[in-house]
A and B are shown apart, each in its own frame.
Chain A
Amino acid sequence: MANKHIDEATGTETVGHEWDGIEELNTPLPRWWLWTFYLTILFAVGYVIAYPAWPMIDRATGGMLGWSSRGQLAKSLADAEADKRAIADRIGAIALEKLPADKALMRQAVAGGAAAFKVNCVQCHGSGAAGSQTLGYPNLNDDDWLWGGTLEDIHYTITHGIRQHEDDDKRQSQMPPFEGAFDAGQLDAVAKHVLALRGKSKDNAEGAKLFADNCAACHGPNGGGDRKLGAPRLNDAIWLYGGTKEDIEKQVLNPRMGVMPHWGGRLSPVTIKMLAAYVWSLGGGEATPGEAKAGAVSSSNRNGSQAAGQAEASTNERP
């Protein structure tokens, strides 16, 4: 450097640039700073040798340590799985009816169930588990259960499914089509009677008679339904396939009957248990018989009238 610029005031060399008379001093760095800088360079060299760093044609150099982000992810997943193991084992070991009493474990089961629900169930039942009346998927938040709303009932339904061909223990029911059996007038009368079952609209004698002859065997004389037979309750406000007179007439003539896959064998027993806990916790879950009053009925196909509390069991799906 031939011409050094020395700042007069400080005696320090400047970098040689000038902006409106302001110059930048080229003040020497402290030695420790310089060493730190050299150390970072050394570190970078070591890093490039140890870790994936240098881009090649199809991949980067592997690094001596063999570290990879995929490998780290796999390890994290395995660790997370191992962390959950203890809780999953406890959920698997506890009897279903005792689960709600163990508050902490129940909370974990519900959380796990919520996650599994979002993967396996939301496709039909919706992310809020509210189902869809248009598509005919039942709402799981309410207090109306086609096949029972205790933990055991829900667990059974999830395990074996509804009206599918792969599991012989499935929930099964069938409603005959009345197309051709009823004429237009009879259809009108029956629909009006069904609507009147809640006692909120005018009844008619013809409809009542037709109902008693054709429908009461399954749906009960007052339309209270029968979970054992899979016959939905007709005297409540919840309609799976719609509650207008037209909807009802359609259902009488050509019943829609929903299908649900069985999850036993596809999901692990612990996952199914957690799913049952989650659905049960959504707000409509019914108490297990032993928990409230003694209801000496089989857990999976109990009659609705025995449900504990005010959470009355009923059905509204048209099988």
Chain B
Amino acid sequence: MSDPDHPATGTLADLKAATRRHQPKEPAREHLPERLYEKREFVHNKRIDGRFRRFKWFVMFVTLAIYYGTPWIRWDRGPYAPDQAVLVDLAHRRFYMFGIEIWPQEFYFVAGLLIMAGIGLFLVTSAVGRAWCGYACPQTVWTDVFQHVDRFIDGDRNARKRLDAAPWTWGKVTRRAVKWTIYLLIGFWTGGAWIMYFADAPTLVHQFWRGEAAPVAYITVAILTLTTVMLGGFMREQVCIYMCPWPRIQSAMLDEKSLIVTYKDWRGEPRGSVKKAQKNPDSFGDCIDCQQCVQVCPTGIDIREGPQIGCITCALCIDACDKVMKDIGRPRGLIDYATLEDCQREAAGEAPRPIWKAIFHPRTIAYFLIWASIGLGLLFALDTRSHTDLTVAPDRNPPYMLMSDGSVRNAYTLRLRNMESRPRQMIVSLVGLPGGVMWTDTIRRRVAAPQQTFTVPADQLLTVRAYVVAPEGTSETDFDFRLASLDEQGETDTVKTRFNAPGEE
């Protein structure tokens, strides 16, 4: 099995070079410079069944179920908050996710989740390669859905190719009309599901069909319908190859220890038909050049050319090749998930390492630790955050006021935050201001006192204009506003602020 041409070091470039040497008859490209564009060949991928295809079905079902189903999950939060489990309430600036409610100033939770998602991608990539691209990316999932629509309406690969080339007869027009209508319905359903995350889903559905929903709902649905049909129905692999930054980033993240879908060229080359190989067993490899791996590929690449940006590692070529190898009685895995390192070991005749070694290596562990520590940090912050908060903004103009009895008045804007889904009584007191009393824009001066009680509405911020008066002769001093909730939680918040007064004359 040892190939004298095969280099000892195992970098991507080496492997690429090695595979390229085995490439048969590269088409002549002399006329290339005249072309301003790369002509696109629409990919009609062939139907295939196998363990990876079944896994893809499973992932598709789960991800679509999550996407379409989540807004319909109910979650009881009592009478003062919506009962939708996941809701981005832009109008009221609240984000609900099951038992968690996030206010705008807590957006760092969302930022943390996004960072986790990013690092999660790195983690997945370093552990199992481009699994995100191959199975879970919305572009992949929806493209898969649309390709199945193609197959359902127009038949499999060859039938579709024929239909594409056929003139526009009535039959073709009908088929196309039906297919594109289905495209539009899928797109519409996709866009329609999206807006459900931003309002109470059952209500919105009613409003939507009665024409009572907000214009932005219709516009969003229209845009998402179009983008879904455009990206999933027509652009498909072009998005992955030309538009998406992720494949570029991935190519920087993969190394010889990364799990990728790879063609074992030392086993397959040189290619030859079964008959030829029977006549001349020593001069041919296992690849019979049946093109099945190319035909099933949803991005239309030839995996035998080596790792490339167009490969989303959906592993359908593995299914296709395994099936062929089984039919002709050769061992499976000519195309397989493997790391480049393993490929070389295998090429050198050594036993392959167990797969877990490819998954658990230092880089995955490091990513996992970072990912998990951010997650734990978020959980800790979520658990320990206070549901009560006070902010104080002193009036700066005028900084203080003399009252007719000689006392000194300062004005403050207090904001009492109640993050519970029920109205709460809260008491605000002055601490460290001898003789100080306060009243507010709603509490009359005749009941001025060192502390006042407020009812803060459920899940809201109560803005209070507070007037604090200290007796004549009080000089400038720091003091505290102290907020305490009058319930079993007994949460408190203390804010230090300044009391201004006229200086000595």
Contacts and interface: CB of A to CB of B under 8 A. Distances in A.
Interface residues on B, range: 35 or more
Contacts of A9: 17, 20
Interface stretch (A90-98, A160-168, A307-315): A307-315
Contacts of A30: 37-38, 40, 238, 242
Interface string A32-44: 1110000000000
B403 interface: yes
B3 interface: no
B445 A310 contact: yes
A31 B403 contact: no
Contact of A139 (B33, B38, B398): B398
B37 A29 contact: yes
Contact of A311 (B235, B396, B398, B445): B445
A127 interface: yes
B397 A31 contact: no
A9 B401 CA distance: 82
B409 interface: yes
Interface residues of A, number: 38
Contacts of A314: 404
Contacts of B395: 128
Nearest to B35: A28
Contacts of B40: 30-32
Contacts of A11: 26, 29, 32
Interface stretch (A68-76, A150-158, A206-214, A231-239): A231-239
Contacts of B397: 126-128, 130
Interface in A59-111: none
Contacts of B49: none
Interface stretch (A141-149, A256-264, A267-275): A141-149
A139 B400 CA distance: 11
B467 interface: yes
Contacts of B441: 281
B444 interface: yes
A224 B404 CA distance: 11
Contacts, number: 95
Interface in B226-271: 235, 238, 242
Contacts of A309: 444-446
A142 B410 CA distance: 11
Contacts of A198: 406
Contacts of A127: 397
Interface string A269-313: 000000000000101000000000000000000000000011110
Given A30-B242, A130-B398, A139-B398, A283 B409 contact: yes
Contact of B32 (A28, A32, A130, A312): A28
A26 B395 CA distance: 64
A34 B238 CA distance: 14
Given A139-B398, A143-B403, A13 B36 contact: no
Nearest to B467: A283
B385 interface: no
B39 interface: yes
Given A11-B26, A312-B404, 5 more contacts: A29-B36, A141-B398, A233-B404, A283-B401, A310-B448
